[in-house]
Amino acid sequence: MSGIVEGRVVIVTGAARGIGRGHALEFARQGAKVVVNDLGAEVDGTGSSGAAAEVVAEIEAMGGQAVVNGEDVSDFDGAERLVRAAVDHFGGLDVLVNNAGILRDRMLVNMTAEEWDAVIKVHLRGTFAPLRHAAAYWRNKAKAGERVDARIINTTSSSGIYGNPGQGNYGAAKAGIAGLTIIAARELERYGVTVNAIAPAALTRMTESLMPAGATGADPDDIAPLVVWLSSAEARGITGRVFNVRAGKISVAEGWHAGPEADKGSRWDPAELGAVIPALVEKAAPNALTNGRIPGRED
């Protein structure tokens, strides 16, 4: 196997099905050695299966190298074992793709604490824990004088960066991942590590319940090319960015930034703000729609 990530060692979490499976297979096609991490759970995080082994078998059938890993990425020690498994099995680690996730959709007035905690744990803690251990591994290499050219690609969502009713837990976790991506990029750049995120749109087990009956969605395999490119040597100068990706369409998500401003030069009296805040909001661009477009600027 040869390609744009030839010889690089890659961990893909949540790699047994859907978008993660597409990542793992494309990495293998492009010459990477892949750790296929997955608990094999259902969409809500329950149950288990041998789907990760099937992905490894597909990779091996095409002449690639891969190994199954069943660690729970939201378990701090398990995430450390995941990183160590890549190093022990393939001799190092070059790329971490944080993709694992579950859904427990519910309107806020009906959401339980358990539904909130489960989603936050898998998505947000499940991104932080592998990222933290991978970052420590690369920092130690850099401090030892070794050259590091490593990549982290996190998975956020339009639900987190633009907002989607019924997904308060999922959206909060994904917004946190977007913020973590930017912070990690700034912290790890000195060690030779880039950190980016994708907000993918595709029809998978996780999204099919959100689609109208009979609707078709983008192929989850179409997300992988961007992720693989971001993991390559060519992407060395790209860090701290979030990319929207659906089928053949890629855009850069532009995050929060300061807009219209009023500065009195001293402490405001609350009674004064009635003549100030509405005017600022009127001047400001409206929040993006769920598809990321500003109302009135959809083209």
pLDDT tens digits, 172-209 = 999 999 999 999 999 999 999 999 999 999 654 444 44
6-55 pLDDT, tens digit per residue, is: 999 999 999 999 999 999 999 999 999 999 999 874 554 444 558 999 99
Say what the pLDDT of residue 149 is: 98
Question: Tokens for 193?
Answer: 């590590």
Separation of alpha carbons 241 and 252, rounded Å: 7
- Tell me the fold of 9-253: Rossmann fold (3.40.50)
pTM over 0.95: no
25-29, 147-151, 219-223 — which is least confidently predicted? 219-223
Say what the pLDDT of residue 297 is: 73
Say what the pLDDT of residue 227 is: 98
Please identify every residue annotated as catalytic. Answer: 157, 170, 174
Q: Could you tell me which residues are beta bridge partners of residue 153?
A: 97, 196
Locate CATH 3.40.50.720 in the chain.
Answer: 9-253
Q: For 244, what's the count of Cα atoms within 13 Å in the CB-facing half-sphere? A: 15
Q: Is the pLDDT of residue 147 over 70?
A: yes
